[in-house]
């Protein structure tokens, strides 16, 4: 199994698990909470068939990566991504982030600029700023995030059960666009994540990425569902598309948070058209 060492915690190395398949122009896929790189299974074969080199990795604390008790902030997440990029010697590569993964992209540009990056794609992503403040009235109340963190601390397994209902909008889409088995498989992956990471990542969802996005100067695609209950379109995707000069916004009708699964055909079509152009 391939790993890249990105940090240390006391005597232990912090290693990220990654997969690197295919050839051609590299595309780095960055997963969302609380899953891992394997959650891109609806996109990976399509991208490989189209001739791209596809790289996925597990964020620290998730999947097969190390599960430290430190480093759960976007400066460190972006640094982890940068170290992976350097380790693989990538250039002329595209970054595709789902949900939390969009934060890595924004902060990557904020910290390292666009050198070597060809394109950026934000799917159901948390930027630019989810927290409701005086200058961001469309955001989400702090109490909501506090409640989520409290629920994770109390019983993260029960929290994940409720979380995935809104992740997939199961009340409307179960048996139609997502199966009970898929929801259960996602729960299993979430349950294997670090308890520390499951808790510590919640406050990062409302990090302010507005300044980071001003440094995104490559062609950018934003894909978002208009029925997203986790990261509302009006508070995120619509604003990101306005903040990034020349960005294209694709709104998936009736799409929940995890449109990469429930509406994979629409997402893959928009993604391929953009990456090939």
Using DSSP's 3-state secondary structure scheme, residue 76 falls into helix
Q: Return d(Cα 72, Cα 155) in angstroms, integer.
A: 20
Q: How confident is the model at residue 160 (pLDDT cuts 50, 70, 90)?
A: very high
Residue 244's pLDDT is: 98
The pLDDT, as a whole number, for residue 177 is: 98
Which structure tokens are listed for 238?
């619509």
3-276: CATH superfamily? Alpha/Beta hydrolase fold, catalytic domain (3.40.50.1820)
Please, which residues have CB within 8 angstroms of residue 33's CB and are 6 or more apart in sequence?
Answer: 62, 99, 100, 201, 205
| Token output for 140 | 């989400």
Residues 88-116 have pLDDT tens digits of 999 999 999 999 999 999 999 999 999 99
Buried b / exposed e along 121-156 (16+ C-beta atoms within 10 A):
bbbbbbbbbbbbeeebeebbeeeebeebbebbeeeb
Distance (Å, whole) CA 114 – CA 212: 11
**How many residues are there in the chain?**
277
* Residue 24: strand, helix, or coil: coil
User: Whole-angstrom distance between the N-terminal and C-terminal Cα of the chain?
Assistant: 33
Q: What span, in angstroms and rounded, lies between the C-alpha atoms of 149 and 203?
A: 8
Q: What is the pLDDT of residue 1?
A: 81
Residue-wise pLDDT for 213-235, tens only, equals 999 999 999 999 999 999 999 99
Tell me the mean pLDDT in the region 20-37.
Answer: 98
| Residues annotated catalytic, as ranges | 99, 228, 257
Tokens describing residue 103: 């934060």
Instruction: Report the pLDDT value the prediction gives residue 138, as an integer from 0 to 100.
Output: 86
41-51: per-residue pLDDT in tens? Answer: 999 999 999 99
- Residue 192 sits at the vertex; the CA angle it makes with 22 and 198, to the nearest 5 degrees, is 100
Q: pLDDT (tens digit, 9 = 90+) per residue, 32-68?
A: 999 999 999 999 999 999 999 999 999 999 999 999 9
Residue 245 — pLDDT band, cuts 50, 70, 90? very high
The arithmetic mean of pLDDT across residues 199-218, rounded, is: 97
φ, ψ at 224 (rounded to 5°): -150, 140
pLDDT in tens, 129-150: 999 999 999 899 999 999 999 9
**Residue boundaries of the structural domains of the chain:** 3-276
């Amino acid at each position: 199994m391939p790993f890249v060492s990105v940090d240390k915690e006391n005597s232990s190395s912090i290693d990220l698990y990654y997969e690197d398949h295919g050839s051609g122009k590299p595309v780095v896929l960055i997963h969302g909470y609380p899953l891992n790189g394997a959650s891109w299974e609806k996109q990976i074969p399509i991208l490989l068939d189209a001739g791209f080199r596809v790289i996925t990795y597990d964020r620290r604390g998730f999947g097969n990566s190390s599960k430290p008790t430190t480093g759960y902030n976007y400066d460190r997440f972006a640094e982890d991504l940068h170290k992976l990029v350097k380790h693989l010697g990538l250039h002329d590569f595209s970054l595709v982030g789902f949900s939390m993964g969009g934060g890595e992209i924004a902060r990557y540009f904020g910290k390292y600029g666009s050198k070597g990056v060809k394109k950026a794609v934000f799917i159901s992503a948390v930027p630019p700023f989810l927290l409701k403040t005086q200058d961001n009235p469309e955001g989400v109340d702090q109490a909501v995030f506090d409640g989520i963190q409290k629920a994770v601390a109390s019983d993260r397994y029960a929290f994940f059960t409720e979380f995935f209902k809104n992740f997939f909008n199961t009340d409307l889409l179960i048996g139609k666009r997502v199966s009970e088995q898929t929801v259960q498989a996602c729960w299993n992956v979430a349950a294997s994540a670090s308890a520390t990471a499951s808790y510590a990542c919640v406050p990062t969802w409302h990090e302010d990425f507005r300044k980071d996005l001003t440094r995104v100067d490559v062609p950018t695609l934003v894909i978002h569902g208009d029925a997203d209950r986790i990261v509302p379109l009006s508070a995120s995707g619509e604003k990101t598309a306005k903040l990034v000069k020349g960005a294209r916004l694709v709104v998936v009708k009736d799409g929940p948070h995890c449109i990469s699964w429930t509406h994979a055909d629409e997402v893959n079509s928009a993604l391929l058209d953009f990456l090939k152009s």
